[in-house]
Structure 1
Amino acid sequence: MQFRLRSLGLTITMLAISVAQIWWWHTPQAPWLIHKQPLAGQRICVIGDAGWSNEPALTIGSAMVELRCNQIRYLGDLVYPDGISSPDDPLIETRFLPTLKPALDAGIPVYLVLGNHDWKQSGDAWLEVARRHPLIHFPHFYYFESWPDACAFSLETTWFEKWYHLHRQGNWLESSKTQAQQQHCRLSLVFTHHPMYSTGSHGNAGEMINLGLKHKLVGHLDLIMSGHDHILSDEGEYQGTRQLISGSASINNDLGPGSDKQHFTRATHGLLTLDIENRGDRLTVDYRFYSVLGNREAPLITLLWQGTQHGEGVR
């Protein structure tokens, strides 16, 4: 009897190990959003960390309409300080939607990634929040988009910070990059919460992002847009990949020491715009950082810095 129990225990243990290995090495599926219209000619507005919906965030919300954004990318920390507990959490109405209301009223679509504060309670709740609002897109914690001329990867970086699904999202990313390359993506964009490089007070990406993600992005894709550090920053180009930060929609934090690649950094409330242009045989991105001050009825929008990044696609 004792031998049979030991055998059963060993069988169960081996089965659990096998299931764990399959889960770890399996390449999971995630949504692919297919856009029929080219990305060239569109303006993308990028904000991050607006989760207080305070007066600076509400003013930026109005500014995005004045700047005539065609779409908005919201890079996480959607509700401060601890995210939401369910899709019916009252904080959705008081700390998430007010910033976006001018854009949603104007029919401008919004695409989300989650930030570290959004995982303090229920990250899953945001999937249902997006399902309830037709103009808010969050089909999965990470997802891929393709246009006839460009591609984009929206990633979940808090999982890397906390070991969640470290290998699985990486497998999906490598598979998606290969397919994007086969489809001749001419411009590749990445939207994350945590930046790979930052001269803000939070600093560069942590150890697990360095180990599991950074090398899959830097040197392979064109532009990384991130929040998390509450600044506006052009961190410069690394192996052909440029890091831009727009995380100051409701909070500012201190600046760290500048790097030799850094071009511009400012601790002020504002946002980033990306104008996608078709120039000959390549796509280019004219990016601009704006400070947004004043009040929501009359936002003061000031151009602080601009630059250009040429698309090389996926390599």
Structure 2
Amino acid sequence: MRRWLSYAALFVAIAFTAAGLGWWFHTPHGPWLVHDRPLAGQRVCAIGDGGWGNPASLAVGQALVTLGCDQIRYLGDLVYPDGILDANDPLIDSRFLPPLQPAVDAGIPVYMVLGNHDWKQNGEAWLEVARRHPLIHLPHFYYFEQWPDACAFSLETTWFEKWYYFHRQINWLTASQQMAHAHGCQFSLGFAHHPMFSTGSHGNAHEMINLGLKQKLIGHLDLLVGGHDHILSDEGEYQDTRQLISGSASITNDLGPASNAQHFTRATHGLITLDFEKTDAGLRVDYRFYSVLGNPQDPLITLLWQGDQNGQGIR
């Protein structure tokens, strides 16, 4: 009897170990969104960290319409300070939706990633929030998009900060990059809450992102756009990958030491626009940083800095 129990315990242990290893090494299939309209000719606008729903964020929200955005990328920290409890949390109506309302009313789609503050309570609830609003998109915590002329990876970086699903998202990213390369991609983008390089007081990405994620992005994509640090910043190129930061939709913070390749940084409320155009060499983006100040209904919008980046696709 004892021997039978020992064999049974060993079998259960082996089964649990095999299941755990299968979960760890399995490559999950994140959503693959296919857009029929080319990205060339579109204006993509990036905002981040607007989760207070304060007058500054309302002014930035109005600027999204004034500047004629075709789509919006919201780079996380959707509700401060601790995210939401569930999809019926009143903070959704008081802090999350008000800055986006002018854009939603204008029919502009919003694509999101989550930030570290969005995981302090119930990060899963944001999937349901997006399902309830047709123009607000969060199909999964990480997902891939393909246009006829470009591709984008929206990433979940807080998991890397805390080891959550660390290996699984890397497997998905590797497989998605291979598929995107096979399909052809003239311009490659990454959208994430945590930037890889930052002049803001939060500084560069922490150890786990450096170990597991940065090496999969830097030198492989054309453009990375992040938030987290509450600044506007062009951190320059690293191995032909340019890092931009737009994390000042509702608050600003102090600046830290300049990164090695940093071109521009400002601690002011605002956003980034990305204008994509087709050239003889492929696809190019003209990016612009705007400060947004004053009256939320009629904000003062000022061009601060601009640059451009040529696309090479997936490398």
Superposition TM-score, scaled by structure 2 size: 0.99
SS of equivalent residue, structure 2 residue 256? coil
SS of equivalent residue, structure 1 residue 186? coil
SS of equivalent residue, structure 1 residue 290? strand
- Between the aligned partners of 1:15 and 1:30, the Cα distance in structure 2 is 26
- Between the aligned partners of 2:109 and 2:153, the Cα distance in structure 1 is 17
SS of equivalent residue, structure 1 residue 228? coil
- Between the aligned partners of 1:5 and 1:55, the Cα distance in structure 2 is 66
- Output the amino acid matched with 2:114: L
Alignment of 1:5-20 (within 5 A): 5-20=5-20
In structure 2, the partner of 1:284 is 284
Residue 281 of structure 1, CA deviation: 2.9
In structure 1, the partner of 2:75 is 75
- Output the amino acid matched with 2:156: E
- Output the amino acid matched with 1:105: D
Alignment of 1:58-69 (within 5 A): 58-69=58-69
Residue 224 of structure 1, CA deviation: 0.3
Asked if 1 retains the 8 angstrom alpha-carbon contact of 2:76 and 2:114, the reply is yes
In structure 2, the partner of 1:188 is 188
In structure 2, the partner of 1:161 is 161
Residue 229 of structure 1, CA deviation: 0.4
- Between the aligned partners of 2:235 and 2:50, the Cα distance in structure 1 is 21
In structure 1, the partner of 2:136 is 136
SS of equivalent residue, structure 1 residue 210? helix
Alignment of 1:1-315 (within 5 A): 1-315=1-315
SS of equivalent residue, structure 1 residue 56? helix
SS of equivalent residue, structure 1 residue 309? strand
- Between the aligned partners of 2:41 and 2:273, the Cα distance in structure 1 is 13
Q: Relative to structure 2, which stretch is displaced further, 93-102 or 5-14?
A: 5-14
Q: Relative to structure 2, which stretch is displaced further, 85-94 or 5-14?
A: 5-14
- Between the aligned partners of 1:255 and 1:189, the Cα distance in structure 2 is 25
- Between the aligned partners of 1:135 and 1:298, the Cα distance in structure 2 is 24
- Output the amino acid matched with 2:86: S
What's the CA shift string for 1:133-175, capped at 9, x where partnerless?
A: 0000110000000000000000000000000110100000011
- Between the aligned partners of 1:72 and 1:49, the Cα distance in structure 2 is 13
- Output the amino acid matched with 1:310: N
- Between the aligned partners of 1:102 and 1:290, the Cα distance in structure 2 is 18
- Between the aligned partners of 2:185 and 2:236, the Cα distance in structure 1 is 22
Residue 2 of structure 1, CA deviation: 2.2
Asked if 1 retains the 8 angstrom alpha-carbon contact of 2:197 and 2:259, the reply is no
- Output the amino acid matched with 1:175: A
How many residue pairs match? The answer is 315
Give 5+ residue unaligned stretches, structure 2. Answer: none
SS of equivalent residue, structure 2 residue 244? strand
Residue 15 of structure 1, CA deviation: 0.9
Superposition TM-score, scaled by structure 1 size: 0.99
Residue 244 of structure 1, CA deviation: 0.3
What's the CA shift string for 1:150-209, capped at 9, x where partnerless?
A: 000000000000001101000000110011111110000100000001111001101110
- Between the aligned partners of 1:71 and 1:293, the Cα distance in structure 2 is 21
User: Once superposed, what is the RMSD of the aligned Cα atoms?
Assistant: 0.7
- Between the aligned partners of 1:304 and 1:25, the Cα distance in structure 2 is 45
SS of equivalent residue, structure 1 residue 256? coil
Give 5+ residue unaligned stretches, structure 1. Answer: none
Residue 13 of structure 1, CA deviation: 1.1
SS of equivalent residue, structure 1 residue 40? coil
Residue 259 of structure 1, CA deviation: 2.3
Residue 37 of structure 1, CA deviation: 0.5
- Between the aligned partners of 2:241 and 2:184, the Cα distance in structure 1 is 18
What's the CA shift string for 1:106-126, capped at 9, x where partnerless?
A: 000000000000001111111
- Between the aligned partners of 2:174 and 2:269, the Cα distance in structure 1 is 35
Residue 6 of structure 1, CA deviation: 2.0
Residue 65 of structure 1, CA deviation: 0.3
